[in-house]
């Protein structure tokens, strides 16, 4: 009888232990998710409704490190993103944008006027957001620029646009914010390859897909990636992560 009761007791303790271990595993799992959620950084994407901007937002949405906040100018654009469970903020780069960087950790500037307001948007709009980011202690500002912005006077085409990008880039460099400035070649809508050629100065022309530009911009958000660096990219044979690591 004693052996029988002892067996039942051992079995009961064993079952209870299994439930306890399972409970601890579940708690640990949820704690891990909670920590993961806390560690994710909010990234404001200026120009989120543009062709490249949308690709950036999608990459961030699928990232385990970042959460995108799409900065848009119109209510209908806001509704479009929110249908996809993407957070948004209304903002106009030609006006006060200090509210757009509230609770943000990092910023990607991928906005553009399409050649219509290069000074107002591509230059002064960028400066406006840089100032707001500095005042909000943003950790890192990633700028989508363009090849040719280093010396716009030598450009055959798009001289006004490249001047605006040059001025915005120089303003960011002097703003005392951790930053990365990415200068791609001509953009295409082809499918990305995940491979690029990257140098501070490539000394040659070339094209690159918007997919690969978006990936490079998102990779630049990491704290250890291309700190205070300016570089040019075109399509190439080196994986984006390796190309950036080799030049960081």
Specify whether 31 is located in the same domain as 82: no
Please report the pLDDT score of residue 10 as a whole number: 44
Specify whether 18 is located in the same domain as 100: no
- The C-alpha angle with vertex 60 and arms to 194 and 180, in degrees rounded to 5, equals 70
Please report the pLDDT score of residue 44 as a whole number: 98
Three-state secondary structure readout of 38-57: HHCEEEEEECCCCHHHHHHH
Specify whether 211 is located in the same domain as 228: yes
The Cα 201–Cα 231 span in angstroms is 7
Domain, as residue range, for 24: 1-39
235 membership: H or E segment, kind and range? strand 229-235
Specify whether 161 is located in the same domain as 56: yes
Specify whether 139 is located in the same domain as 31: no
Please report the pLDDT score of residue 29 as a whole number: 44
Mean pLDDT of 207-232: 96
The Cα 4–Cα 18 span in angstroms is 21
Specify whether 35 is located in the same domain as 45: no
pLDDT in tens, 48-87: 999 999 999 999 999 999 999 999 999 999 999 999 999 9
Specify whether 176 is located in the same domain as 158: yes
Q: Which residues are catalytic?
A: 161
Q: At how many degrees (to 10) do helices 159-173 and 124-135 cross?
A: 10
| Residues 209, 233 contacting (CB under 8 angstroms) | no
Sign of the Cα pseudo-torsion (226, 208, 199, 109, in order):
negative
DSSP state of 191: P
Please report the pLDDT score of residue 239 as a whole number: 97
Please report the pLDDT score of residue 45 as a whole number: 98
Specify whether 138 is located in the same domain as 24: no
Position 8 pLDDT exceeds 90: no
pLDDT in tens, 168-203: 999 999 999 999 999 999 999 999 999 999 999 999
Specify whether 134 is located in the same domain as 242: yes
Higher pLDDT, 113 or 143: 143
For residue 198, the cross-strand partners are 233
Specify whether 169 is located in the same domain as 228: yes
| Through-space distance between the first and last CA atoms of the chain, rounded to whole angstroms | 74
| Residues 40, 60 contacting (CB under 8 angstroms) | no
Specify whether 3 is located in the same domain as 59: no
Position 17 pLDDT exceeds 60: no
Specify whether 63 is located in the same domain as 103: yes
**CA within 13 Å, CB half, 81:** 27
How many domains, in total, are found in the chain?
A: 2
Q: Report which of 212, 180, 211, 182 is spatially closest to residue 196, judged by C-alpha positions.
A: 212
Predicted model pTM: 0.84
């Amino acid at each position: 009888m004693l052996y029988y009761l002892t067996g039942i007791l051992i079995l009961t303790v064993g079952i209870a232990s299994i439930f306890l271990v399972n409970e601890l595993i579940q708690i640990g799992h949820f704690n891990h998710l909670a920590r993961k959620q806390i560690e994710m950084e909010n990234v404001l994407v200026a120009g989120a409704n543009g062709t490249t901007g949308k690709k950036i937002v999608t990459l961030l949405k699928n990232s385990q490190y970042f959460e995108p906040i799409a900065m848009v100018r119109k209510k209908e654009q806001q509704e479009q993103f929110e249908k996809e469970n993407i957070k948004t903020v209304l903002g106009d780069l030609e006006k006060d944008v200090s509210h757009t960087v509230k609770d943000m950790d990092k910023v990607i500037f991928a906005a553009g006027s399409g050649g219509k307001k290069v000074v107002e948007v591509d230059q002064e709009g960028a400066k406006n957001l840089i100032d707001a980011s500095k005042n909000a202690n943003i950790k890192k500002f990633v700028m989508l620029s363009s090849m040719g912005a280093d010396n716009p006077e030598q450009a055959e085409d798009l001289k006004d646009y490249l001047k605006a990008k040059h001025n915005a880039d120089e303003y960011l460099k002097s703003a005392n914010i951790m930053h990365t400035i990415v200068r791609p070649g001509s953009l295409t809508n082809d499918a990305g390859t995940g491979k690029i050629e990257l140098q501070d100065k490539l000394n040659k022309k070339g094209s690159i897909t918007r997919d690969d530009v978006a990936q490079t911009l998102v990779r630049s958000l990491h704290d250890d990636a291309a700190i205070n660096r300016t570089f040019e990219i075109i399509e190439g044979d080196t994986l984006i992560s390796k190309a950036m690591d080799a030049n960081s």
